[in-house]
Amino acid sequence: MSFVLGIPRKFKYVKVDSLNEALELLREGSKILAGGQSLLPLLKLRILNVDTLVDIKNLDLRGVSENEKEIEIYSLTTHNEVASKVKLLSKVAFTIADFQVRNKGTIGGSLAHADPSSNYYPALLVLDAKVKVKSKKGEREIKVVDLYISPYTTSMREDEIITSIIIPKKKELNFTYEVYKRGGSAYPTAIVAVAVEGNKYKVSFGGITEKPILFEGEVESENTIKNVIERLREEKIISDIHADSSTRLKIAERLFVNAFLRASKGVSDQFNIPAIENKWKSEVIRGEEMVTVKMKVNDFEMEDEVEPRTLLLDFLRRNGYKEVKRGCDEGKCGACTVIIDGKSVKSCLTLAVEVIGSDIKTVKGLSDIKQLKESFLENFAMQCGYCTHGFLMVTYDYLKRIGKRDDDELLKHSIKNICRCTGYFNIIKAIKTSSSNQ
Ligand SMILES: Cc1cc2nc3c(=O)[nH]c(=O)nc-3n(C[C@H](O)[C@H](O)[C@H](O)COP(=O)(O)OP(=O)(O)OC[C@H]3O[C@@H](n4cnc5c(N)ncnc54)[C@H](O)[C@@H]3O)c2cc1C
Ligand code: FES
Ligand code: FES
């Protein structure tokens, strides 16, 4: 049997429309599919193989509710939605990956995946959050401090689904968050979250050890910094190709001092993100061998027979949409970006069956992208042009929904596509100088 790079092994795909049906289908060999931004790379690399993918995107587990005591975030809320709806987590969620990953990836998926560099764990640890999980046996709550066991392993059982995340509200809380990343849409090298409430502090470090660290105590100005750093130096710090342990430790120490001093002075970190809604609802289907996929591409009705494992990228390219490019094939470069129901998404991390009935646009189908295209041309924002379509797609979405073309901080965390000809200076200039009508 031949090994095909980038294509998962065959599986059965079921898009459910009720939580009970999803719970019914959870058993050995099946896996929940939420945003697919962590699961699909694993399936494509065949590090993980499944018999059945249970797509829960149609479930009513999206959005945020609040009362005077707590904030409840439903598990399918995407990172961009969390950033726009939960002020406290705006920086935490908006510094995840890039705009496209944040349009599809979900807070529940991130906690269930339990990556040691997850943006959420350090924040939710210092905020005393808990998750609600459901199974056929009933519902229970797990404190986030008890959820993460080791890399990619949680204390949830195989038959459980995270339905929401609950954060208690605190009156005099100062919360700061620092994250250090290499370029592109890399995972963080180090993360620090600090919560100061009266004379009590909690600090959590992510990305530097196999399990996010949590320290807590009473604030004693300079002594606190000294004590935390001493305790941190006793930990076993990760060393890998991205940073050796001493570099990681130095970065973490610096981030901590900065975050702690700011929190002790009464600062709280927040980004100001306009309201974002990411609709992810499409037809319910159950497919084993071949599935009929119907969708609109650039206002043209398309229909094709595909295996459930077919990537949207391959579906589009083999139907003639060659402007959508295959680059890294692992979700990092953004060359494959298209607009799905108004939001930019990486088509190499999306299955064609996930978006049955959706409205897909490439640059050829967007009537209101003319100004941006002209700005790319006028600023020589391309050399070979391979990456250009992807850049146009994510920029189009960012400008439409965030619109802050001069906010370097928000731009830096949003448009992270890779240009192999290294034309970033002109690309940024094109984005910043394109007409604000975009
Ligand atoms: C290029 C790139 C860069 C990234 N950078 C970052 C980063 O900087 N910081 C960061 O935190 N993350 C990063 N991520 C990961 C991203 O945040 C994912 O969205 C997230 O980890 C998984 O969420 P998902 O909804 O995509 O879950 P999926 O990929 O669909 O699922 C992940 C796992 O969780 C399980 N699962 C999903 N939902 C539930 C649920 N409700 N209940 C129980 N189990 C569930 C699945 O079965 C699977 O095992 C990056 C991803 C990519 C591709
Ligand atoms: S992100 Fe899809 S090909 Fe690189
Ligand atoms: S212009 Fe050549 S890859 Fe970007």
11-15, 178-182, 433-437, range with the lowest pLDDT: 433-437
For a pocket test of ligand 3, which of 391, 420, 426 has the largest count of ligand atoms closer than 8 A to its C-beta? Answer: 420
What pLDDT is stored for residue 186 in this prediction? 87
Q: Which helix (H) or strand (E) holds 135?
A: strand 130-135
Which pLDDT score is estimated for 437?
Answer: 53
C-alpha 64/C-alpha 85 separation (Å) is 7
pLDDT tier, 1 (very low <50, low <70, confident <90, very high otherwise): very low
CATH of domain 12-57+280-363: 3.10.20.30
The string of pLDDT tens digits covering residues 181-206 is 988 888 999 999 999 999 999 999 99
Calculate the alpha carbon distances from 300 to 276, 281, 323, 361 in Å: 27, 20, 16, 10
pLDDT for position 67: 97
- Count the Cβ atoms, other than its own, within 10 Å of residue 229: 14
Assign domain 366-433 one CATH number from 3.90.850.10, 3.30.70.20, 1.10.150.120, 3.40.50.300.
Answer: 1.10.150.120
Average of pLDDT values for 370-382? 95
Residue 5: the pLDDT is: 66
**β-strands 291-297, 359-361 pairing:** parallel
Of 224-238, 285-299, 374-388, the one with minimum mean pLDDT is: 285-299
CATH fold for the domain made of 64-264: 3.30.465
Q: Tell me what pLDDT residue 436 has.
A: 60
The minimum-distance atom of ligand 2 relative to the CA of 332 is 1
To test the ligand 2 pocket, which listed residue (104, 332, 393) has its Cβ within 8 A of the most ligand atoms? Answer: 332
Alpha carbon of 295 to those of 300, 341, 351, 353, 399: distances in Å?
8, 11, 13, 10, 25
Q: Which atom of ligand 2 is nearest to the CA of 333?
A: 4
Q: How far is the CA of 334 from the centre of ligand 2 (A)?
A: 5
Coil vs helix vs strand at 109: helix
**Ligand 2 within 6 A of 36 CB?**
no
**Domain parsing of the chain, residue ranges:** 12-57+280-363, 64-264, 366-433
The pLDDT of residue 4: 57
**Rounded mean pLDDT of 241-248?**
95
pTM of the predicted protein model: 0.97
Give the tens place of pLDDT for each residue, 20-77.
999 999 988 999 999 999 999 999 999 999 999 999 999 999 999 999 999 999 999 9
The span from the CA of 390 to the CA of 313, in Å, is 12
Whether 390 is in the pocket of ligand 2, judged by its Cβ within 6 Å, is: no
Q: 12-57+280-363 with 366-433: one CATH topology?
A: no
